[in-house]
Amino acid sequence: MKNDLTCEVVRDLLPSYVDGLTNDVSNQAVEQHMKTCENCRKLYREMREPMNGDEVSEINNEQKANFKVPSEIDYLKKIRKKNRMRILAAVLTVVIAAGVGIWCKAYLIGQKVEQAEFVQADVVMKDHKVSVQGVLLDQTKGVADVAFQEQDGIVTVSLRETRKSSFHTNEFQAEYESSGEVKRVVLENRILWDDGILIDGTVSDLYQSRNPYVGDISADGRSVQAARAVLGINDEALLCYGTQLQTSEEPYGWTFLNVQISSSDNVERLQQEMKQLGCLLIAVTDNLGYVSFEYCVDGTENSDGSTTLTVTEADADALAGQSVKAMSQTPAGLQKLVELIK
């Protein structure tokens, strides 16, 4: 391979070459030159020899007395040392910058709160002024910012959370002056206020689980879980072992099979919960006409004495004193329905 490098160029490259900072092309050119140049080879060997105090300590006293570093080698070694210091400084700068960025992200900037169920908030409306105050349920988090957006009478509140610190606590309070009439206030995916009424978080979830057709398994499941949460029914109560749908003709029905009641002492209370649960499911499922519960007490098999409790749309309307399907059309109406049946 032809080598066009002069000794001067090689000597300029040697500090970086010794530290492994040159690329493969430069390495090949330097090595090719040193094969034919004794002076550059010698300079390379001497550059690799120790020159600092700790390294020179390995040389005996007599060698120290006679040891003299040529000025050119000394200069090149200083360049090599500077190269190392530059690399170290660059690495430290990157590490420090990354650390500062992480700290700012965690304690100053934060991230958007995506799950509103971890926020407890209240809304106060006066004229066109929206006042929101609340607290993050996670005591380790703090609120970095409260922002508002308004569109078509709906005011959306967004929060940014950080690690809790002296800069940001888990409590927040903010106000917003709307440009027009406010119909609803929403925190991320949770409705806080609607048509003059505060909306409970569980009612908001139930409203958003509204389903036009019974028979969509995932939608039906969301409605059941939301309705149970509204009523405070725990996982053990009204535990069933299957459901059955009647969608061949109207009224369409939904039957909960093999509901187990552990004790006869619980029958009256659980019958009331069945009626409430049936009422809410009829309200949030547009084409649902009735809900039935087949239950037995103390583990009695259905064939030996099961009982069926059925809640029709008419029963639900009578329980609420008005049309439950009409009430469920708005969050405020659904909130009123829950308060009536509970």
User: Is 199 domain-assigned?
Assistant: no
pLDDT for res 67: 37
> What is the domain count for the chain?
3
Looking at the chain, list the stretches that DSSP marks H as alpha helix, in order from N- to C-terminal side. Answer: 7-18, 24-36, 38-47, 53-56, 61-66, 71-104, 201-208, 217-231, 267-284, 313-320, 324-327, 331-341
pLDDT for res 75: 60
Would you mind telling me the total number of residues written for the chain in this entry?
342
User: Is 1 domain-assigned?
Assistant: no
pLDDT tens, 72-91?
556 666 666 777 788 888 88
pLDDT for res 49: 73
The answer to whether residues 8 and 39 touch, using CB atoms and an 8 Å cutoff, is: no
pLDDT for res 231: 95
pLDDT for res 150: 95
pLDDT tens, 106-127?
777 778 888 778 899 999 999 8
Range of 169's domain?
112-193
Whole-structure pTM value: 0.67
pLDDT for res 70: 52
320 and 263 in a single domain? The answer is: yes
Question: Mean pLDDT per segment of 10 residues, for the chain of length 342 residues?
Answer: 77 83 87 89 81 43 42 61 79 86 75 84 92 94 94 95 90 95 93 96 96 92 95 80 91 92 79 96 97 81 72 97 97 97 90
Q: Of 73, 89, 106, which residue is a domain's last?
A: 106
